[in-house]
Amino acid sequence: MHVHDTSLPPVSPDDLIAKIESGEAVVGVIGLGYVGLPLLLAFGQAGFRSIGYDIDRTKSEQLNAGRCYIAHIDASPLPGLVASGRLQATCEMVDLADADAVIICVPTPLTRQREPDLGYVERTAEALRPHLRPGQIVILESTTWPGTTQEVLQPILERSGLVAGRDFFLAYSPEREDPGNRSFSTRTIPKVVGGVGADAGRIACALYAKVVSQVVPVGSAQVAEAVKLTENIFRSVNIALVNELKLVFTRMGIDIWEVIEAAKSKPFGFMPFYPGPGLGGHCIPIDPFYLTWKAREYDINTRFIELAGEVNSAMPDHVAQTLQNALNDRFARSLKGSRILLLGLAYKKNVDDIRESPAFALLHLLEGRGAVVDYHDPHVPQIPPTREHSCFAGRRSVPLTADGLAGYDAALICTDHDAVDYRLLADGVPLIVDTRNAMRGITGRAAIVPA
């Protein structure tokens, strides 16, 4: 362990703020995925020298060649930023020693026991620690339980001999990226910022103010951590509610989509949420369980949150059963041996993001019941290796053609991409099970069953 020389005066937060304000600060981003890469580009475009780090060497190679590997990101500025030297990518942590601000954007998944897995955060901190120097600020953006920044990240970094608040600064700012949302970008989404101490908060606010239109300071890192969980738990609970309403209203012969459309005309007291085949993305299926786990430390059972998780997790089973019943009722066919085309592998429309997509649960369920399943997704031409669904790696999206559709017994719409020809689909298969209301207003030879 390094022993810090306490005779040295504490570093000045105002010196780092001045460096940020002048544009001379160097910004490092660790983790160049859906969160880190847009942030890296934003700082580069704002005039900062920006260094991106990722353990995946192919990512740094592509970025340094001016190429972007995430389809929905506007990477048009990338070649110019690389050519000017304002943006570089690396897989060597030592390169971040040059950075005045280091922003950590690594995954925070769940274990198989649905408990927080902070392995990526911990390993990142361990790797960063030898290169930490006085005057830097480290900001965590990965979603996690309240207290992580101070209880997990701070002790690891302080084993360098440097002390947070005296020699370096530590803050938390939750990522709020929404892949594929054309109405909001990194710059236009307000940024919540909480520091470990007032000085860290001031520095982090000054930094983010250079790349986002609005900074929302809060009193501590712990509050900022709680903000992100609250946002995603709000969504999880309301999606569970509307999924449950869908089951009830469908049994009653009522169109849930028509109900929501009418209800959202109320200008107050109602916010529309929409049903689906299950939750997807890195946030909503995972983040609530970070709080349920931490709450047990305080002898609190988060029954409401866990019930929402149960409702949402059950949706793929409901969809698979709906498909099985529809085949049997309409064509006296069993699911076993039927050829099924699954439409949409990404977790949401018009992106290539497959993280936690309910489509994988449906693939497992349908094939487990003996169906022969292909998929079509214009944004996911081939299934990449994944930790949870390695058996599907390498499968390719089949083309959507009239001749090809003729060979299927049913189609299952899991994700409602705009680039899909739904009219062709309606004329090409005898049965469509629609979890996204994609077939509203479209007619053809297919029987359309909502799910």
Annotation says 205 is catalytic: no
> Mind listing the pLDDT tens digit for each residue in 295-341?
999 999 999 999 999 999 999 999 999 999 999 999 999 999 999 99
Residue 404: C-alpha distances to residues 340, 407, 416, 423, 429 (Å): 12, 6, 20, 15, 10
Q: From the CB of residue 234, how many other CB atoms can be counted at a distance below 10 Å?
A: 14
Q: Which of 105, 205, 283, 414 is catalytic?
A: 283
Cβ–Cβ contacts within 10 Å for residue 116, how many? 23
Nearest to 139 by CA among 54, 229, 39, 46: 39
Name the CA dihedral angle for 63, 68, 74, 78, rounded to a multiple of 10 degrees. Answer: 30
β 101-104/87-90 pair status: unpaired
Domains and their CATH numbers in the chain: 13-219 (3.40.50.720), 229-312 (1.10.1040.10), 314-450 (3.40.50.720)
Query: Could you write out the three-class secondary structure of 197-236?
Result: CHHHHHHHHHHHCCCCCCEEECCCHHHHHHHHHHHHHHHH
345 vs 343: CA distance, rounded Å:
7
- Which pLDDT tens digits describe the chain residue by residue (451 residues)? 444 555 567 889 999 999 999 999 999 999 999 899 999 999 999 999 999 999 999 999 999 999 999 888 888 999 999 999 999 999 999 999 999 999 999 999 888 888 899 999 999 999 999 999 999 999 999 999 999 999 999 999 999 999 999 999 999 999 998 777 777 888 899 999 999 999 999 999 999 999 999 999 999 999 999 999 999 999 999 999 999 999 999 999 999 999 999 999 999 999 999 999 998 877 777 888 899 999 999 999 999 999 999 999 999 999 999 999 999 999 999 999 999 999 999 999 999 999 889 999 999 999 999 999 999 999 999 999 887 889 999 999 999 999 999 999 999 999 999 999 999 999 999 999 999 999 999 999 999 999 9
Backbone angles phi, psi at 23, to 5 degrees: 80, 5
